[in-house]
Structure 1
């Protein structure tokens, strides 16, 4: 219910703006195009208020590790491992890829982006089963 009587001059000029929209975190300037795409995919995968400006350094690190991991995976895919002389290079690339994967999973968990950190075990099972991926009949039935 509104106020009674005529509006004062202050009430006439005062306007209250309320908004529920959040601006999504934007990639910092200077990032490569591919890295900007990864950054935006991660930001768009969570609710709008999930990240703020203080998360930019971690996001930059995460995106860098993802990008490096993808480049290493491309080199691994191109390498002919049937050639014995490539095995040492192959082993080194696998170790590099493993380090990048560990860094990615650590950052994902710490930033609460992984499924493990966003679901309790019970909620995870419920979400999995309600998505149609569950077995309706038990194997022993």
Structure 2
């Protein structure tokens, strides 16, 4: 049975769960490139987004694969056209492209699992509303130097 009458201030106040205002630090055994990726992703999300061990494990995998993919992309970029034309080097180049494709797909999958992508954050209805509310043309004051007078466009 509930108490009759007005509630006291103590009854009205509800305890506030303390929020963490710190981001998760990167594990110490990661490479500097992986730590930069970790810090970039963690700083772009609210504190506590990666609070569970499962999320941290996924983020660690993401950082490792993102670093590997970046290293692989550097190797691909360094290949010259003459080297690619060579039979042995050309086959190795195709293998590197295949591995890069796999790494890219794995990164996309991990990002979806950690809810880092826009698709994982919006329902189809909310995405449709955002698209409808997004103006398709430029802003009125951004008209590339042209101005309209009496319904006629004039270029300066």
Check whether TM > 0.5.
yes
Bigger shift: residues 41-50 or 102-111:
41-50
Say what the alpha-carbon RMSD is for the aligned residues.
2.5
Unaligned runs of 5+ in 1: 4-15, 137-141
For residues 28-82 of structure 1, the C-alpha deviation after alignment (integer angstroms, 9 at most, x for no partner) is 1111112111001111111212111412211111100000010011111110134
TM-score, scaled to structure 2: 0.67
Figure out how many residues of one structure are paired with residues of the other and give that number: 123
Determine which structure has greater relative contact order: mean sequence separation of CA pairs < 8 Å that are 6+ residues apart, divided by chain length: 1
Q: Distance in 2 between matches of 1:115 and 1:17?
A: 30
- Is 1:88 the counterpart of 2:91 in the alignment? yes
* CA shift in 2, pair 1:126/1:80, >3 Å: farther
Structure whose CA Rg is larger: 2
Are the counterparts in 2 of residues 27 and 40 from structure 1 also a CA contact under 8 Å?
yes
2:32 is aligned to 33
- Equivalent residue of 1:26, what SS? coil
Structure 1 or 2: more helix by fraction: 1
The residue correspondences of 1:69-84 to structure 2 (distance < 5 A) are 69-83=69-83, 84=85
Query: What residue ranges of structure 2 are gaps of 5+ in the alignment?
Result: 1-7, 139-156
